[in-house]
Structure 1
């Protein structure tokens, strides 16, 4: 079996199992069984479980960041709106999903796990390798939403990210509740609905005083 084929089989199995079970709950032996390779192959190509986890994310984030950089280069010549920037990110996600050929909900679940499970090595790896691109995306969003102060922007970004990851990771279930087949609604069709919602969440002109009573926030 060619080395590239072996690596692809290991990465696919790791992607599926990590997304379904989590990092700590998935053993290398389980991955090798699904990939139909021996443990020596994993050790040879990746060296450790931590390195394999990092490689799974690199498999998605490397093409995503390249596509995103290309899309952002085009926006830098203009004065992009929040919607423009989010569409650039959404377009990069769709292109990456097609290139990697994994279901989009798997990557969304992996991103959620990166936030919720203790994987400091993974956060450091992603920051060192992809932090520049993600910082550029964040900066463009800040410029496009000038009426939002730092704390509002910080929390809205997290709310927006959480809503996006939930929608993507639950994509098949959400579509099924519509009584439709997920294959009838491609991911880029769903983004037509998601991007406007994310845009409104981030660029609302209403600034809420964090020290205000809850009743005042609810009834400004």
Structure 2
């Protein structure tokens, strides 16, 4: 579907997401975004006000839903499987992998996330911490209940490692590619199970 089928705001967000994925945040100008979206600069200023706000909204429109799905799955995991580690990890991993497979820009957004890790953008990092830090804290609290002997610092290190491994898995540029004849859903399920087992072993490891 061409961008012309979307609202002006959505066309700007689609264009920005694609360009941020390809070029990064610093190298993408608002003029490039307006050219890709086929709108004028006034439309960007009207809907977003600034480039920083545009960057934030590119994240918000996908991460709000993903965060809500994660927290919903986390509550279910804690209620249905108290004290079990892997259901909590599944609640963190599976919604993200599902979002990565979204045909309407999910793959591009994963590259945008990778850019956020790679580029030094203090404004974006503050926005992500302010908006979504509570999600990580909720998972840390639930994980801590399963790992009473693990210190807070080690727990947060391991949650960071899981986030990095998940981003890599979502980007699908590692050694494991989807085999021909295997559906995306099946491939995603296999990836999630493998990552959850891997992460569980890491969280359970003794502190050095």
Give unmatched runs, 5+ long, in structure 2.
Answer: none
Match of 2:95 among 81, 92, 97: 92
Alignment correspondent of 1:194: 195
Alignment correspondent of 1:184: 183
- What are the within-5 Å matches in structure 2 for residues 11-160 of structure 1? 11-77=13-79, 78-97=81-100, 101-104=104-107, 106-160=108-162
TM-score, normalised to structure 1's length?
A: 0.79
Alignment correspondent of 1:207: 207
Q: In 2, Cα distance between the equivalents of 1:174 and 1:32?
A: 37
Shift of 1:22: 0.9
Alignment root-mean-square deviation, CA: 2.7
CA pair 73-151 structure 1, distance change in 2 beyond 3 A: closer
Give unmatched runs, 5+ long, in structure 1.
Answer: 209-220
Structure 1 stretch displaced more, 152-161 or 129-138 = 152-161
- Whose radius of gyration is greater, 1 or 2? 1
Q: In 2, Cα distance between the equivalents of 1:190 and 1:81?
A: 20
Shift of 1:23: 0.5
Shift of 1:100: 8.1
Shift of 1:83: 1.0
CA pair 6-22 structure 1, distance change in 2 beyond 3 A: same
How many residue pairs match? The answer is: 203
Contact 1:175 1:181 in 2 (8 A): no
CA pair 50-34 structure 1, distance change in 2 beyond 3 A: same
Q: In 2, Cα distance between the equivalents of 1:183 and 1:11?
A: 32
